Amino acid sequence: MSPDGSISFGSTLSVTMRCPLCATEDTKVIDSRPAENGGAIRRRRECLVCGERFTTFERPVIVATVVKRSGRNEAFDREKIRRGLEFALADRPVPEGTVDDIVVRIEASARAGSAHVTSQELGKAVLAELRDVDEVAYLRFASVYKDFQGASDFEREAAALEQRNNGASVS
């Protein structure tokens, strides 16, 4: 602690990171450069004991808040979105990485809305993504999200989907 009360990390203002190989805390940054279009910083580090070189990424942490139907708030849960998508897309012929891509876009849009999003908005965003990717996956997700009660709900949704597709091909 310095006289003015602030905590000093030394002249470089950097804290050390443990070596992943030998676990010493004696490591240093040997290179820093922007990554992910400036959204992150990639650092190369070197262990001063065993010489191991490793990479770390520094990214801003912005946690979106999801407002539930009940009015309660909870932190945006990437894994929950992922599970919903994996359920909907199970065994569907979609390119590898589709789930990851959608999760990234959904999370980005959740953060963009001043970091507050309702669970309904999230559900609609997932449906909008799936509608463009795979109709079966869309219907699977809709059946859970919209709480389908029977076959007629499926037929109604499928008809709406078809109508939209026909409309899209005309325009």
Which residues bind to Zn ion, rule: CB under 5 A? 19, 21-22, 47, 49-50, 52
Task: Using the minimum distance from each CB to Zn ion, give the nearer residue, 19 or 133.
Answer: 19
* Pairing status of strand 40-47 against strand 53-58: antiparallel
DSSP 151: H
| Contact call for residues 56 and 46 (beta carbons, < 8 A) | no
**Tokens standing for 104?**
């990234």
| Residue at 57: amino acid letter | F
Task: Using the minimum distance from each CB to Zn ion, give the nearer residue, 19 or 66.
Answer: 19
Task: Using the minimum distance from each CB to Zn ion, give the nearer residue, 40 or 49.
Answer: 49
CB of 44 to Zn ion, least distance (A): 14
CB of 55 to Zn ion, least distance (A): 14
Task: Using the minimum distance from each CB to Zn ion, give the nearer residue, 50 or 62.
Answer: 50
In a 10 Å sphere around its CB, with 0-12 CB exposed, 13-18 middle and 19+ buried, how is residue 9 labelled? exposed
In a 10 Å sphere around its CB, with 0-12 CB exposed, 13-18 middle and 19+ buried, how is residue 122 labelled? buried
Task: Using the minimum distance from each CB to Zn ion, give the nearer residue, 16 or 98.
Answer: 16
Among candidate residues 40, 42, 38, 48, the one with its CA nearest the CA of residue 16: 48
CB of 74 to Zn ion, least distance (A): 39
CB of 50 to Zn ion, least distance (A): 3
Q: What is residue 101's three-state secondary structure?
A: helix
Among candidate residues 50, 63, 44, the one with its CA nearest the CA of residue 23: 50
CB of 30 to Zn ion, least distance (A): 14
